[in-house]
Amino acid sequence: MAKETANNLVETSDYIGHHLVNLTYGWCEKTSSWGFAHHQQDISKSLDSACDVSEMGFWAFHIDTIFMSVFLGVLVFGFFGLVNRSAKKGTPGKLQNFVEFIHEFIGTAVSAGYHGTSKLIAPLAFASCLWILSWNLMDLLPVEMSNFFGQAGSGINYFKILPTADLNAPLALAAVVMVLVTYFSINTHGLGGFLKELFIVPLGPLEFISFVSKHVALALRLYGNLFAGEMIFILIAIMFGQFFMSFSQTLWFFPGLILNLAWALFHILIVALQAYIFMMLTIAYLNLASSKH
Amino acid sequence: MNINATFFAELIAFCIFVFITYRYIWPSMADILEARRIEIADGLEAASQSKRQLEEAKEESLKIVEGAKSEASTLINQAGIRADQIVDEAKTQAGDEAKKIKESAESDIQQSANKAKDVLRDDVAALVLAGAGKILNKEIDEKANKQIVDDLINEL
């Protein structure tokens, strides 16, 4: 009994660990070569690297994050592009209605929150909101699905389908926002004005910390919410999975089922809300940067 | 949670998608929506204008009907007056005619009476003469007694 529990614990922590590792392609210092992290894929021996994920340095790419985010981006923006191309000025069809609704929704948010003249803000808000939303929706797919298909078919043993749960992706978005905020601030107040605002007025260097942390928080808020959501899905999946481990755990099936359903329903809210919040904050920061106080 | 070069890949991807949206997706849809907005505004404007025109046409038609009504009533009034005039004229004409006829009839009667008187007088004169002749048994010189007889007759 004790041994079984210990085994279970090892399996559980393995399971969680497995779900938190990205499919990584990077530079291995030991062998001085590029390759996938050790044992992450069974496609080709020549692609396998001697290094584990933790042994790879900065020069590593999360292939799953990049693939999923670009794939979803092509899907979403391709859809909008195609509908736009066939859009008519007269009475719109159903698809066009849908696209126009989203366009109007974001357009309204932008015109309410941003009072400057830049034509970049609306497309930026549109792109960030829809891209993040498409990422977040991946969280509603069963946590076990990507691994199941990966191991069954392609020989890929690690695959995280949720780009938002990889800090790199939200941080990249926030970095773009930060660069734009800096650009607009300098544009409005001049370089001197911006630096003065950043380091002197009104709270000295605290302003700089606030400026940086504001944008880091923008990324961490999104990342944290979705990562936590994913984590809870994993924990529920473990509880659910006890059903298959031993007969004595059969009863876990029902609370697992209910919890999974409840959390998924609640998560639909978070998924949409976090995308919306990111967009609104982007608009607000850029508005603040381009208005004279 | 480890920051690595994925960050740059995501950065580039995001910039590309923002550019695509900025260049192709957002403006074309904005144009379409703007065009539709203008079209709807025009349609509403045209609708209110035609409504106004309808209102004006209604007023116009009411005016026309009103005018026609008043014209008709004046016509009827005039016709009534004219009819009265015609009747009056006919009456006076008829009266005149009747008078004339009466007068001519009277003069006819007068003439006839006069004629009859003359005839009667002549007859009476002749009768008187014949009677007197018989009484006197002799021819009365007509010429000699003519004056007496005529005076006598005239006294009749």
- Per-residue pLDDT of B79-120, as tens digits, reads 999 999 999 999 999 999 999 998 998 888 888 888 888 888
Cβ-based neighbour number of residue A25 at 10 Å: 23
Burial bucket for residue A249 (CB in 10 Å: 0-12, 13-18, 19+): middle
Quick: pLDDT tens for A152-168: 666 787 888 889 999 99
- Asked if B136 reaches chain A (Cβ–Cβ under 8 Å), the answer is no
Residue-wise pLDDT for B20-75, tens only, equals 999 999 998 888 888 888 999 999 999 999 999 999 999 999 999 999 999 999 99
Q: Which residues of A touch B20 (CB under 8 A)?
A: 77, 81, 127
Complex prediction ipTM: 0.89
Neighboring chain B residues of A126 at a CB cutoff of 8 Å = 21, 25-26
Predicted local distance difference test score (pLDDT) of residue A2: 46
CB nearest to B1's CB, from A24, A122, A167: A167
Whether B20 sits inside 8 A of A81 (CB atoms) is yes
Instruction: Please state, in angstroms and as integers, the Cα–Cα distance from residue B127 to each residue in A53, A248, B136, following that order.
Output: 183, 180, 14
What distance lies between CA A150 and its chain's CA centroid? 20
3 state SS of A176: helix
| Residue B142's pLDDT band (cuts 50, 70, 90) | low
Helix-strand-coil split of chain A, %, nearest 5: 75, 5, 20
Map out the domains of chain B as residue ranges: 15-155
| CA dist., res. A219 & res. A222, Å (int) | 5
Contact B6 A62 (CB under 8 A): yes
Low-confidence ranges of chain A (pLDDT < 50): 1-3
Q: Do A103 and B6 touch (CB under 8 A)?
A: no
Determine, for residues B30 and A107 on separate chains, whether the beta-carbon distance falls below 8 Å. Answer: yes
Residue A288, both tokens: 């603040």
Output the pLDDT for position B156. 65
CB contact under 8 A, A99 and B29: yes
Distance from CA of A197 to the nearest CA of B (A): 27
| Chain B residues with beta carbon closer than 8 angstroms to that of A99 | 29
Of A150, A142, A108, A151, the closest CA to residue A126 belongs to: A108
Q: What is the dihedral of CA A137, B10, B29, B37, to 10 degrees?
A: 80
* pLDDT level of residue B139 (50, 70, 90 thresholds): low
pLDDT at residue A243, as a whole number: 64
